[in-house]
Amino acid sequence: MVVNTAFEHDVYLFHQGNLRYSYKMLGAHPASEDGVEGVRFAVWAPNAVQVSVVGDFNQWDGREHPMTKLNDNGIWYTFIPNLEKGTMYKYEILTKHGHLSLKADPYAFSNELRPNTASVVYPLEQYEWSDDEWMKQRESTNVYESPMSIYELHLGSWKFIEEEVFYTYREYADMVIPYVKDLGYTHIELLPLTEHPFDRSWGYQATGYYGVTSRYGTPDDFRYFVDKCHNYGIGVILDWVPGHFCKDQHGLRRFDGEPLYEYDNPAKAEKTQWGTLTFDFGRNEVQSFLISNAIYWLKEYHLDGLRVDAVASMIYLDFGKEGGDWEPNQYGGRENLEAVDFIKKMNEAIFEECPNVLMMAEESTSWPLVSAPTYIGGLGFNYKWNMGWMNDMLKYMEMDPIHRKYHHNLITFSMFYAFSENFVLPISHDEVVHGKKSLLNKMPGDYWQKFANLRAFLAFMFAHPGKKLLFMGSEFGQFDEWKDLEDLDWELLEYDSHASTLNYVRQLHQFYRDMPSLWEMDHEHEGFEWIDPHNYEQSIVSFVRNSKSFTDQLVIVCNFTPEVYHNYKVGVPMDGTYEEIFSSDSEHFGGSGQRNGAPMTTIPEPWQGRDQHIQMTIPPLAVSFLKRTSSSS
């Protein structure tokens, strides 16, 4: 490495926490020096006494290729000739205490297949992308006023060859993408794909933050997956975990013999409930590492967004801790002020470098302005998972319908805060695992009622303001909860109820995408009007969804009991003729077929605060969508 002015400036920015592409300075990069091809290595290890590069090429002997410490900046460097793509390596680090340790490269772009832990030299910018049209279109798309339905996916348990033997990213692309496209989803969200040692951590406890997991292939194989998604018109979101990292010896823990990436204060470093370590968000070099990492995934893999895991665990010092196991901040509060500042800084950097991407926060508390810009005091995300809606709705749906009238507020309360953030309505993997039961099996009643409840819930979800997310398997009514060591129960599609449910989700998506009133004003008060939120006795709610033009309003009526009601009066916003254009009770979907087949003409008598009303049949455990098709003559 030539220590020139540009390099010195990058080092300066790195130590200031402002180097947004630190992965181009650090790590292993094929290069040439004095006309000789090889690989240059650079690693940040300020507390190390000596660092060497070891691998098969030198019989893992640290005496062969020692690195040079560049000035006092803590960065070690060497160039090794005649190495190439695919070379396995680690850093041998001699600590102040005289211990030798072997560490994977924090900036490695590829890693050995677990249980092996070496880093692998893999050059950037060799893949030839074919998604120019998608990337250009993304620049001009207003995501807030567009349909968004996300299919959350864990690759290894969607479908596999046999236990712990997986398809490649390319093979998954050829199977998953046509399936998701056919169902009408707009995005795929992948559980974390950063390199991780333990399958059952699902990627949430990583060791290699810059390496896409080798379980399913190479970095270019994953680029093919993203590229093909874009060619099919599907966006890709990656679950990203900057909150903590695992303690495996070859990873970031005490990287150079001292706390480096983690806090040196155990009260702040330890995530006891997960057995992991928290990043030191106040350390500038860690900020450069994490901000560069987010930009790396968005830039180098053309990802359309990141879903940031466990934000609450970052911003609260007492998250998951008992009373005496944490220390308050300088003002006596429980907020991790360094983490809050880091998150704001990160989001500002990302939207400057990667405009029009999605930054989604899984934030489970009432922290204000999560999805608001930093210049008005927000955290700077553009979306937040609506965990309150999810918890309330699942609690409500799990009740026997006879008890739902006593808890009617669970389906109406969300509208008090629905427009305080830009929300995603998530039914994620966390809700269908560890004894929580599958979405279908949460539903009460007999076999038919379970499916009817599921259809009603999904229709209500798609009618409710906010973007949508559904975990794999829910789309065809998997009975068993998510089994992370098995693949989905695809054989269920041989049964009518499950095949009909899959068709229902397909048709619901088509209907959703065809109706601007269901997504154009998701984040505006004007996009939603209650008709009647008060009918708790019959567990019926009705409301209006508006598009920006207000010309294609939808009247939506939801019945959460198995009772059928005829000649039910619903106040409607305008006079004329209304038709039922979608019903979750359709016989095509396995419903009872209690439809409103004939147009319904308004009756000029006030009802539910409206000047006119219609009379309709209310189907059991179902949601009906009505549209005004003509005005009164």
Q: Say yes or no: 577 and 606 in one domain.
A: yes
Residue 278 is assigned to a structural domain of this protein: yes
Mean pLDDT of 295-322: 96
Are 80 and 53 in contact by the 8 Å Cβ rule? The answer is: yes
Are 570 and 616 in contact by the 8 Å Cβ rule? The answer is: yes
Are 255 and 103 in contact by the 8 Å Cβ rule? The answer is: yes
User: pLDDT tens digits for 432-469?
Assistant: 999 999 999 999 999 999 999 999 999 999 999 999 99
Are 203 and 216 in contact by the 8 Å Cβ rule? The answer is: no
- CATH code at 324? 3.20.20.80
Question: In the annotation, is 480 catalytic?
Answer: no
Q: Say yes or no: 32 and 84 in one domain.
A: yes
Q: Catalytic one among 105, 309, 363, 522?
A: 309
Q: Tokens 């926490």 appear where?
A: 17
Average pLDDT, the chain: 96
The last residue of one of the domains, among 489, 515, 541, is 515
Instruction: Tell me: cis bond preceding 219? Omega within 30 of 0 counts.
Output: no
What distance in Å separates the CA atoms of residue 167 and residue 165, rounded to the nearest whole number? 7
* pLDDT at res. 633: 58
Q: Which amino acid is at 157?
A: S
Please count the CA atoms within 13 angstroms of the CA of 326 that sit on its side-chain side. 22
Nearby residues of 140 by Cβ (< 8 Å), 6 or more positions away = none
* pLDDT at res. 2: 53
- Helix (H, G, I), strand (E, B), or coil: what is residue 623? strand
Nearby residues of 307 by Cβ (< 8 Å), 6 or more positions away = 189, 237, 238, 239, 240, 358, 360, 362, 385
Residue 128 is assigned to a structural domain of this protein: no
User: pLDDT tens digits for 49-72?
Assistant: 999 999 999 999 999 999 999 878
DSSP-derived secondary structure for 494-553: GSHHHHHHHHHHHHHHHHHHH-GGGTTTTTSGGGEEEEEEEETTTTEEEEEE--TTSSS-
Mean pLDDT of 300-309: 98
Nearby residues of 9 by Cβ (< 8 Å), 6 or more positions away = none
pLDDT above 60 for 1: no
Domain region containing 567:
527-630
Q: Where are the beta strands (DSSP E) in 300-352?
A: 305-308
Question: In the annotation, is 309 catalytic?
Answer: yes
Q: Catalytic one among 92, 195, 221, 362?
A: 362
Q: Say yes or no: 442 and 401 in one domain.
A: yes
Q: Say yes or no: 116 and 181 in one domain.
A: no
What distance in Å separates the CA atoms of residue 87 and residue 78, rounded to the nearest whole number? 15
Dihedral sign for Cα atoms in the order 445, 447, 448, 451: positive
Q: Say yes or no: 553 and 510 in one domain.
A: no
Residue 520 is assigned to a structural domain of this protein: no
Residue 139 is assigned to a structural domain of this protein: no
User: pLDDT tens digits for 3-23?
Assistant: 577 888 999 999 999 999 999
pLDDT-derived band at 322 (thresholds 50, 70, 90) equals confident
User: pLDDT tens digits for 378-403?
Assistant: 999 999 999 999 999 999 999 999 99
- Helix (H, G, I), strand (E, B), or coil: what is residue 172? helix
Q: Say yes or no: 269 and 356 in one domain.
A: yes
Are 16 and 47 in contact by the 8 Å Cβ rule? The answer is: no
The last residue of one of the domains, among 484, 515, 546, is 515
Q: Say yes or no: 484 and 577 in one domain.
A: no
Residue 196 is assigned to a structural domain of this protein: yes
Domain count, the chain: 3
Do the strands 50-55 and 383-385 form a parallel or antiparallel pair, or are they unpaired? unpaired
- CATH code at 562? 2.60.40.1180
Q: Say yes or no: 535 and 560 in one domain.
A: yes
Residue 125 is assigned to a structural domain of this protein: no
Q: Say yes or no: 426 and 309 in one domain.
A: yes
User: pLDDT tens digits for 594-632?
Assistant: 999 999 999 999 999 999 999 999 999 999 999 999 887
Q: Say yes or no: 479 and 539 in one domain.
A: no
Q: Say yes or no: 86 and 207 in one domain.
A: no
* pLDDT at res. 72: 83
Q: Say yes or no: 487 and 619 in one domain.
A: no
Please count the CA atoms within 13 angstroms of the CA of 26 that sit on its side-chain side. 30
Name the nearest CA neighbour of 285 among 76, 44, 42: 44
